[in-house]
Amino acid sequence: MRAIRSLVALLGSLAACAAGPRFTASERAAVLDVLERQRQAWNRGDLAAYMAGYARTPDLVFTSGAKIRRGWDEAFAAYQQRYGADRAGMGQLVFEILQVQPAGGDAAIVLGRWRLSETPQAGSGVFSVIVERRAEGWRIIHDHTSSDPP
């Protein structure tokens, strides 16, 4: 009987470890808050605050326009080159969140659509970002953005 209890306890422990940490509703809200803060920063023309949603690391991966950018500095430089000269030219950004998929307790994949208006760079498309819980809070570590055909 003692062996059976030990086996049941062991199996329970293994199952708990396999399940890993849970992704809660408050964590989902925190992930969505990162994107909402980015949207607000963009719409007020604050590129530096927009970039605060990304992990400030050389490991950041950002892909768009058939280009792969590695690192926060490279991503920021690309945004500055395209939008930094004229904050008014950044336009108005809207996100439509289609899915938040947990990837364990400390990460999530967000799938959505974006639309940029009121700027010569207006457009729309889809994005997927991986958001990770880090010491400084939830941050985007991987961003894949594509544009709809003209």
SS3 letters across 50-88: HHCCECCCCCCEEEECCEEEECHHHHHHHHHHHHHCCHH
* Residue 28 covered by a domain: yes
Return d(Cα 58, Cα 56) in angstroms, integer: 7
> Of 23, 16, 49, 18, nearest to 133 (Cα)?
23
Q: Is residue 16 part of a domain?
A: no
86 compared with 22, residue with greater pLDDT: 22
Q: Judge whether residue 14 has pLDDT over 50.
A: no
The answer to whether residue 10 is domain-embedded is no
44 found inside a domain: yes
Residue 131, domain member (yes or no): yes
User: Cβ distance 99 to 110 under 8 Å?
Assistant: yes
Task: Give the chain's domain count.
Answer: 1
CA distance 74 to 70: 6
Is 6 contained in some domain?
no
Q: What is the CATH number of the domain that holds 39?
A: 3.10.450.50
Residue 17 in domain:
no
Res 150: pLDDT: 86
Range(s) of the domain holding residue 75: 24-147
In a domain, 37, yes or no: yes
pLDDT tens string 58-91: 999 999 999 999 999 999 999 999 887 777 789 9
